[in-house]
Structure 1
Amino acid sequence: MPTVLITGGHGGIGLECSKHLAAHYRTNLLLAGRSLERIEPVASELARTYGVKANTLELDTSSLESVRAAATRCHALLDDGTVDHLQAILCNAGARIQGVNYSVDGYEETFATNHLGHFLLLELLIDRVVDNGRVVFTASGTHDPETVDGKLVGAAVEPNALMLANDGKEGRKPTSAGKRYSTSKLCNVLTAYELDRRLRRSGSAITSIAFDPGSTAGTGFLRAMPWPVRWLSTTAFFKQFQKRLGITMGSMEFSGISLARLGADPVFAGCSGKYLQSNDGHLIETRSSAMSYDEERALKLWNDSKLLVHLQPAEESTLLR
């Protein structure tokens, strides 16, 4: 059976996605995340419940060393047959970090976690994805400053990778947590579109999709927020308030199912380079922000990201040059 690698596939939207993949598409799973103590019981339960193989991969997307080690481990699992052919990579894990923190590599942690780690993972593994496979980026409507989502969280700033990685250093005033998050998600969308262009030039049939799960209570997105905020986000009143404001509304179950569909359903094979959104119980194709279609910005982000992750010639995918 085909295998889907999903970062953060053991909790929140990712877990709902993993359940749907196993139950409805009969795909094996490769669950990647920071804590094997948390992932392995989930993998065992998924395998027992749905009769699929569910392997685990220790992976911290904020650490370049961890990403490289995880990619090496994935290659080994594919080579020895433990993991069947790789049908899709779902770049789902993400975080909104309140304070200004830096990764073990010295990069601002939100940008490192949400963008750089997944960028490196794709460079290291895209050659192992089958030719009709999928790559899906869990982005966010907050990346678009023209939407209510973007205005409330904080308008995305210029997606300059070198500046974002070093945000708040050398006495510079750090960008707010909301803007760091929305900008990292803009980088996800820019990367999805640039990946699509590179795959098309190489003649590959791999599909690259950007996905907005909508505002979703019950995920780890708000874990850094104060307890009253986290509690309020789960109430019916707050959901109605969000809808009246015009916020894009998702749900953990529907958004997880939508992510699974984008990763495995043949109906979405023609959606490469597209932006799809979970909105009030509907999965729709829509437009992302104006800036996200800027090919010069996307190319600069891609090339600067290669520098930041110290991509070596032997590591660079032949599909993505």
Structure 2
Amino acid sequence: MIILSDKSVIPMIFRATTNYLNPQGYRAPLPDLIIEDDGYMYVTCPNPEVADVGDAVVSEYFTDVYHDDIPGRFRASLKYAADTGYAFAFPNFHQASGDKGLVYGTNLIKSEAIEIRDVLASEFGDIAGDDIPRRIKTAGNYAIRNNFAWGCPNFHQRRDESGLVYGTALFKSGFIKRIPVKFVELFSNPVDFQSLVDSSEHNAISLNTFKEKIDDIGIGEGFKNVAGYFKEKVTGPLAEVVTKVFKSTEEFIRSGDVNKHAKHTALNAARQQKENGSSEELCADAVRDIMFGVALIIQAPTPTVPNPYAIAVAGSAISLSKWACHETYKNES
């Protein structure tokens, strides 16, 4: 599996999931943000009769929340839910201009479908508080262990006499469906990867000037943060590795397997770093940066259409970089 933990792509996945499942009658889908080995991502879909969508006015509910503060967006959505008579809410990351200014799309769940509990953090294992995919996964597993259908963090937390507790929304049985969605199908008109591999224009990107080329590429929404990070951090010899790693993914691009493509990108980046004499301690940060660069090259031909392969590579850069370095260096004495 690959875990889509990078905050710059999570909003894009939420939007794409909403756009994909709304026409099928599901108003408030909640994606797991984990691509399983078969290329599917599970989505929790509340029954239509217990789910609504509202427009939360940013100036009223999100004044202290930065746009990419995902746990903060969840927490602020709960205040909007309480004010409108719902038990739980989470963002769908759509936005629009309304009569009162900018509004954020917010999925709303009725009280009959949900129970809110404070759960000891120890129930979820050693997981960072802002690790969105793992927080969703462990909340879901906790829910199933306790005879609920699935769970979701509300990202509130506090300490009581028992220790640190996490606010957790538990979906009651009979009120949701768990639907597997082919990840690549979430995005319309994905790039023709055969053409990309064969295209001298994109294969021949000179990474000595890639920083400057970012300014000339229309990066799709959701990749702006990645582009800015890459532009600042990836220079010189490390930049040259990005093209090598990108070219090495050819067979996986042609196979159409987004999961293998992302994992191979991480492993090949780690091997390149080892060959270049990097220590294991410095490997993970470099692999993450290389993966961001590969994602940008993949995205470049279709800047206005989010590309599932680019999203998978960038979204898993944090989680896969440590794994790839461990796999690469583990046999050293």
Q: Give TM-score scaled by structure 2 length.
A: 0.25
Point out the structure with max Rg over C-alpha: 2
TM-score by structure 1 length?
A: 0.26
